[in-house]
Amino acid sequence: MRAPPEARRWTRHLVYRSERARTTWRFRLGLILLVGAALWLTRGWWTVSIASSLVCEADGAPSDAILVENFDPDYRVFERAAALRRAGVATRVLVPVITDPDGGEPEAVAIGEAKLMAAAARLGPIEVVPARTLEPISLNVARDVLHALQRDRVRSVTVVTPLFRSRRSALVYGATFGRAGITVRCEPVRGTQGVDTWTRTWHGVQDVLEQWVKLQYYRLYVLPFHGSSRLLSPSPAPEHGVPAPRGS
């Protein structure tokens, strides 16, 4: 028995009836399999594209100094810096060494580790640049290094950096040093994984995903909102770097 028109007019303010179409579980399963197959068949393209987006463009032009990234000490980075020095890219080599947030001297162990890798790579004399661990770390390390470059009137620098970190490093140093008129060149260094092999191990996948997330974090948040602010107090670094002995 159908409800009288008066009842329908009153209840329409509270509830309503509608019809809708829903996909079947067969269609949803088929769509998932189709997308999975497409990703699998094109993995040789999109995996390389993702990894390549993390790598800066190498520039072997001469500079006033070579800057060796030393966040996670890597012998290959020191080895590449040694090759660049022998090739005449620059004679000075600067190595940031992390210190405490209060700006004290770097720990002897950290300095010794940097000198040991420089000696193993036959890099020659290095200049240690104290850098404080303040978030965001990469940006504030760049600002500490900038003080040393400005003090010594360095006008160009080649940054030697791990492969999947290199685009972020070029972005951060370019934004920081560029405001001071210092030209930044990049030299990416391949580790155990390359842009075409990173998916073969879980460590490679983890490294690429981590660096991709950090790149977006710096590109979309850190540099737009903190890139021009003064996060550090004046004169964060000692007046002079700590040079290593000859032959180290």
Asked, for residue 113, whether it belongs to a domain, the answer is: yes
pLDDT in tens, 194-203: 999 999 999 9
DSSP labels for 173-228?
Answer: HHHHHHTTT-EEEEEEE--S--TTTGGGSHHHHHHHHHHHHHHHHIIIIIHHHHTT
What's 66's domain CATH number?
3.40.50
Residue 115: closest CA among 85, 149, 78: 78
Domain limits for position 150 = 52-191+198-243
Name the residue type at position 118. A
Environment class of residue 162 by beta-carbon count within 10 Å: exposed (0-12), middle (13-18) or buried (19+)?
buried
Position 58 confidence tier, pLDDT thresholds 50, 70, 90? very high
Split into its structural domains, the chain has a count of: 1
Residue 46 lies in a domain: no
Inside any domain, residue 104? yes
Tens of pLDDT along 117-149? 999 999 999 999 988 878 888 998 999 999 999
φ/ψ (deg, to 5) at 189? -120, 120
Paired residues of 128 in beta bridges: 95, 242
Q: Which amino acid makes up residue 138?
A: S
In DSSP terms, which residues pair with 98 in a beta bridge?
Answer: 131
pTM: 0.78
Tell me the pLDDT tens digit for each residue of 24-54: 888 888 989 989 888 888 888 889 999 999 9
